[in-house]
Amino acid sequence: MIRGVKMIRSNLRMKKTMGLCAGWIILCVIGVAGCAMVVAGGAGAGGTYTYLRGELKRTVKVDYERVWEATNKAVQDMELNVEEIKKDSLSAKFKGYLASGDKFVIQLKSEDPEFVSISIRIGLIGDENKSERILQEIQKNL
């Protein structure tokens, strides 16, 4: 009889421990996933973009040259201090500083003849609001 009671108590302790471990695992997974990515909707025709690890990304269904021209115009219209521009037939990169002193990088990548990926990073850790503002200016010129 005593042996049966000990086994019941042992089983209860094991179930309780397993339940706590499972709970911690679930919380850790949710915490990591929550920090990994934010998907946000833009206003009006802005569409959606992803903001992951400080970098805003959007893929548009527009030819590469047109996105290049729209980005170049946006940078000029916003009077951004561009220090470096690199461009070839598949990709482009704008590097410079905002008036606030924050560094920015805008990258364009031709995914195929119809789609171009636009990525924007402000500073080391990113600034979603400023990145979104630059994206809106690019989209306005498309």
Question: For 13-20, what is the mean pLDDT?
Answer: 56
User: How confident is the model over 97-130, as pLDDT tens digits?
Assistant: 999 999 999 999 999 889 999 999 999 999 999 9
Strands 81-87, 91-97: parallel, antiparallel or unpaired by DSSP?
antiparallel
DSSP per position, 1-54: -HHHHHHHHHHHHHHHHHHHHHHHHHHHHHHHHHHH-EEEEPSGGG-EEEEETT
pTM of whole model > 0.75? no
Question: For 33-43, what is the mean pLDDT?
Answer: 39
pLDDT at 39 over 90: no
Residue 48: its pLDDT value, please?
A: 78
Tokens linked to 54: 């400080």
Residue 113: its pLDDT value, please?
A: 87
Please provide residue 126's backbone torsions phi and psi, each rounded to the nearest 5 degrees: 90, 160
Residue 11: its pLDDT value, please?
A: 58
Residue 9: its pLDDT value, please?
A: 57
User: How confident is the model over 45-79, as pLDDT tens digits?
Assistant: 445 789 999 999 999 999 999 999 999 999 999 99
Residue 15: its pLDDT value, please?
A: 56
Computed over every residue of the chain, the mean pLDDT equals: 80
For the chain, report the end-to-end CA distance as a whole number of angstroms: 81
